[in-house]
Amino acid sequence: MTTRVLTGITTTGTPHLGNYAGAIRPAIQASTQPGVDAFFFLADYHALIKCDDPLRIARSRLEIAATWIAAGLDVEKVTFYRQSDIPEIPELCWMLTCVTAKGLMNRAHAYKASVDQNVAKGVEPDDGVNMGLFSYPILMAADILMFNAHKVPVGRDQIQHLEMARDIAQRFNHQYGQGHDFFVMPEAQVDDEVATLPGLDGRKMSKSYDNTIPLFEGGQKAMRAAVMRIVTDSRQPGEPKDAENSHLYALYRAFSTPTQSALFRHELEDGLGWGEAKDRLCDRIENSLAPMRERYAGLMAAPEKIEDVLQAGADKARRQSGAFMARLREAVGLRSIGGNAQAQAGGTVKKAVAKRARFVSFRDEAGQFRFRLLGADGKELLLSEPFADPKAAGAAIKHLQTNSLSELSSEQAGVVSVRMGDAVVCRFAADDLSVIDEAVATLNQD
Ligand code: TRP
């Protein structure tokens, strides 16, 4: 069993040290584990919700993509793409929007926080709230459900969004699944092992607190300058330091082996001066970043290479999303009027649709030869009568495929019998005729 792991980063900013250690590094690490099929993407549609500066959005997509690649992502192994290159995501978003209760969205933390702030300010509750912010969790659910992710590594603040994604998935499954689940239930993966880096002031490192240490931007110099601004207490060199409660030590740990951290801790407790401690922290960080920074600079100087990687990623992702969307459209009733699902589907989707139904031959318990017709979802649509000879079973399959089903069949008391000459090939309930006919029809266009 492979585990599909999926996560996205909103493209509004320039990656900082906290993004790297808290999200990118652990995600890349997870993607190298056996049995993991990883999907990482740039959440650029989400970016439009909070940012209306086109240059910022464009720049951020480039920087974040370059950061993932420079940090060692194996773009051949994982599926790495931009959300906005996958048209099936907004399409799914709309289908999900139509099964999502408005009341569920009213309860979303991000939306409620905006309302609370407005109320506190004495303005209209929905002042400045756009529909993107309001339905943010539905777009996020579409990101996740589109690829049927099992695990979604996120920060604690996103746990509610995952609960909503499950809620929405369940409603869709219930409404359209007819006993078959389209979506798996995704789970948030909040890893306590993963470093949440403190920022310069000791609060969580975050762009919104303006307390970040840059990752690549400004080079080693900018990184050092930021480290020098980390808040420490006033203890002098020679005085023992409280390592456990110092932000410096927390940052050091995120870039060191346990042995290196233990040593640093002892030195602090033995009175290492803060100035020198900062120098050592810079060296440790630099040790990790230097090779990546070089790759980053190379990529930023050749953005067309990044574009190529993202295009290839989008192709790979769309092979899945296109086929899945064809099934979802079918499920909600957005079908071809002529019963030919394929006629509506274009490009890559076409092949996937053609592969939908299939005949499967097998030997039954009595040693007789039979076959089944399976729908796209693997459900049995039809079971044949037994044949003594496998060739006869094969001929019967061919017969079904080359003749119109309704011409071969006769109905009696709600049961349809399909004949080949005198022999009955299969029987099924009359209600199932149109579904079976349609499945065979798509099969024949292969
Ligand atoms: N909302 C996430 C964040 O702000 C970004 C995101 C968008 C995401 N779609 C996602 C994360 C899907 C995981 C899965 O961090």
Span from the CA of 336 to the centroid of ligand 1 (angstroms): 34
Q: Which two tokens stand for residue 258?
A: 């346990």
- Pair 399, 408: CB distance under 8 Å: yes
Phi and psi, residue 192, nearest 5°: -70, -20
Give me the DSSP letters along 160-206: HHHHHHHHHHHHHHHHH-TT--SS---EEE--TTS---B-TTSSBP-
Give the position, in ligand 1's atom list, of the atom nearest the Cα of 83.
Answer: 9
Average pLDDT over residues 141-167: 96
Query: Is pLDDT above 80 for 87?
Result: yes
Q: What is the pLDDT of residue 353?
A: 46
The domain locations on the chain are 3-100+135-192+302-306, 207-300, 342-441
- Pair 172, 99: CB distance under 8 Å: yes
Ligand 1 neighbours by CB, cut-off 6 Å: 6-8, 10, 43, 46, 140, 143-144, 152, 154, 158
Q: Which two tokens stand for residue 1?
A: 């069993």
> What is the chain's alpha carbon radius of gyration, rounded to the nearest angstrom?
29
Share of the chain above pLDDT 70, in %: 95
Nearest CA to ligand 1 atom 11: 8
Share of the chain above pLDDT 90, in %: 76
Give the position, in ligand 1's atom list, of the atom nearest the Cα of 155.
Answer: 15
Fold classification of 342-441 (topology level): PH-domain like (2.30.29)
Fold classification of 207-300 (topology level): Tyrosyl-Transfer RNA Synthetase (1.10.240)
Burial 295-326 (b: 16+ CB within 10 A, else e): bbeebbeeeeebeebbeebbebbbebbbbbbb
Query: Is pLDDT above 90 for 80?
Result: yes
Q: What is the pLDDT of residue 128?
A: 95
Choose the residue to mutate in 7, 68, 159 for probing ligand 1, maximizing ligand atoms within 8 Å of C-beta.
7
Strand order in the sheet with 415-420: 409-412, 415-420, 423-429
Question: Per residue in 349-395, pLDDT tens?
Answer: 444 444 578 888 888 888 889 999 988 888 889 999 999 988 989 99
Closest CA to 4 of 320, 428, 377, 249: 320
Choose the residue to mutate in 60, 144, 158 for probing ligand 1, maximizing ligand atoms within 8 Å of C-beta.
158
Weakest-pLDDT range from 215-219, 253-257, 404-408 = 404-408
Q: What is the pLDDT of residue 47?
A: 98
Q: What is the pLDDT of residue 376?
A: 82
Question: Per residue in 44-77, pLDDT tens?
Answer: 999 999 999 999 999 999 999 999 999 999 999 9
Query: 3-100+135-192+302-306 belongs to which homologous superfamily?
Result: HUPs (3.40.50.620)
Contacts (Cβ under 8 Å, ≥6 apart) of 328: 92, 95, 182
Query: Is pLDDT above 50 for 196?
Result: yes
CA angle, 281 then 230 then 271, to 5°: 60
Question: Per residue in 300-325, pLDDT tens?
Answer: 999 999 999 999 999 999 999 999 99
Average pLDDT over residues 211-232: 96
Contacts (Cβ under 8 Å, ≥6 apart) of 175: 99
What predicted TM-score, i.e. pTM, was given to this entire model? Answer: 0.76
Question: Per residue in 223-239, pLDDT tens?
Answer: 999 999 999 999 999 99
Give the position, in ligand 1's atom list, of the atom nearest the Cα of 140.
Answer: 9
Give the position, in ligand 1's atom list, of the atom nearest the Cα of 10.
Answer: 5
Q: What is the pLDDT of residue 339?
A: 53
Nearest CA to ligand 1 atom 14: 7
Average pLDDT over residues 286-300: 97
Q: What is the pLDDT of residue 355?
A: 58
Query: Is pLDDT above 90 for 421?
Result: no
387 SS3 class: strand
